Amino acid sequence: MDFSRITVLCVGDVMLDRFVYGEMERISPEAPVPVLLLKERREMPGGAGNVASNIISLGGRAILIGLVGEDEAALTLRDALRLRTGVSEMLVATPKRPTICKTRFIASHQQVVRADEESRLKLQPEEAELLCRAIDARLDEASVVILSDYGKGVCDSMVVRHLIGEARLRGIPVFVDPKTSDFRHYRGATCITPNAKELVAASGISGTDDASVERAARKVMAEAEADAILATRSEKGMMLIPAEGEAEAVPARAREVFDVSGAGDTVIATMALAVGSGMRFAQAMRVANAAAGVVVGKLGTATADIAEVKRELHAEDAPVTSPHLLTLNDAQRQVAGWKSQGLSVGFTNGCFDILHPGHISLLAAARAECDRLIVALNDDASIRRLKGETRPVNMLESRAAVMAAVRYVDAVVAFTEDTPLETILALMPDVLVKGSDYRPEDVIGGREVTASGGRLFLADLQAGHSTTGTIGRIQHRA
């Protein structure tokens, strides 16, 4: 699966996604609202810009066309796009509207409020003309086209008709992420990708069962004269309804969902790249479903890289009982990927021979201190050296399978040495977690992690629980 030769022309509503992080310390004396002590600000392309970011992350190339204002947000957006190697932007500057900017204020991993800057002014004729000229200038470079409609003005009838008409004349497939409930607006599109709510609004047919979704899709597909509808259905997965042939569905990948922001952008980016590379619609849908499974496990407007998607596809093909035990090299790549997304990585370790409430309490406390948590397990030989020949009770494969099923855990690795120091140095987490029964100076890896800018966290332990005690009670009753 190689998308490096695929160039996608992305046309649509481009915006700046701004995330402001802080700590919620108190309630304001001026009004019953929280006071945030601001700590950090991050900015990235949003809307059609996030579609382009997903294309780059998946290994393709992107040409981005949209509207921006003549303001500071436009400069910030252009700078953010320049950092994404592989994105070529042709943003049309207009004095008639500001750059769309969505600012999210976040405390303790929760969004507190969002502030939007945008104009409700309809697209002006001179703006539409400039957008069409930009499309004509770059369309011949594209293998596939994405129309990303967020309902902010760019995707008006003149621009949409021109884009789809010119693309179809050249035999270039057009994928549409819709906003309007009248899909005739996108007449001639190759594939339209509504979510469940959008499909019901466009078709007037309610119902979440497969038959209702297919009936609704075929109705709007005929009106839009499209080749296919890909209906995204949240926890129910996706359904592909082609104009010719039978509908196919794939279930969502079971996982803890942290944030669905941008999942639709990931789906349409992956579908376009996959079909542009020669895959059939059904095969492309399975790749897109895997990519969506990756991004919903991330915070904020996120992307999926091609390595993550391949791992997800491999995991879907594997038996559900297979333990998620990464090699150290895979874990290093995973940590690097998380950190590139701005996520903090936590680490804890132990035998975890017989999982009990004390372990769960520790893991929950550890996960609260970071965005992603890696657990390193002593392998069987290491435990025997540490605990004696009667241990472990459960072999490494079994312990890893149980640990991977815990909702607070994002990845599991194993180490053969007597201590996890080599693993810690290889992964260099942002937060190293141990129980409060340790003194800071006794925590293996604590000095190295703090010296590199990370921190040590000692979690309170739940009294009355231990593996040794559990084994003792079993032996006594036996």
What amino acid is encoded at 292 in this protein? Answer: A
- φ/ψ region of 300 (left if φ > 0, alpha if ψ in -120 to 50, else beta) reads left
401's CB contacts (< 8 A; 6+ apart) are 321, 322, 323, 324
Torsion region of 451: left, alpha or beta (phi above 0 gives left; psi -120 to 50 gives alpha): alpha
How far is Cα 89 from Cα 391, in angstroms, rounded to an integer? 60
The Cα–Cα gap between 454 and 458 comes to 14
Is 198 one of the annotated binding-site residues?
A: yes
Q: How far does CA 376 lie from the centroid of its chain?
A: 24
How many Å apart are CA 379 and CA 394, to the nearest integer? 11
- Could you tell me which of 296, 176, 306, 315 has the C-alpha nearest to residue 235? 296
Residues annotated as catalytic are 265
Residue 110's beta-bridge partner residues? 107
- Residue 50 annotated in ligand binding: no
Does residue 223 contact residue 183 with C-beta atoms inside 8 Å?
Answer: yes
Q: Which residues is 435 bridged to in the sheet?
A: 459
83 class by beta-carbon count within 10 Å (0-12 exposed, 13-18 middle, 19+ buried): exposed
195 appears as a binding residue in the annotation: yes
Extended strands (E) in 108-257: 110-117, 144-148, 174-177, 191-192, 228-232, 238-242, 248-250
Residue 141: Cβ within 10 Å count: 12
Closest-CA residue to 64 (of 10, 141, 130): 10
Q: For residue 423, what is the enclosing H or E element?
A: helix 421-427
Is 197 marked as a binding-site residue?
yes
What are the angstrom distances between the C-alpha of 198 and each of 159, 182, 285, 301?
21, 10, 19, 21
**Which residues are documented as binding site for ATP?**
195-198
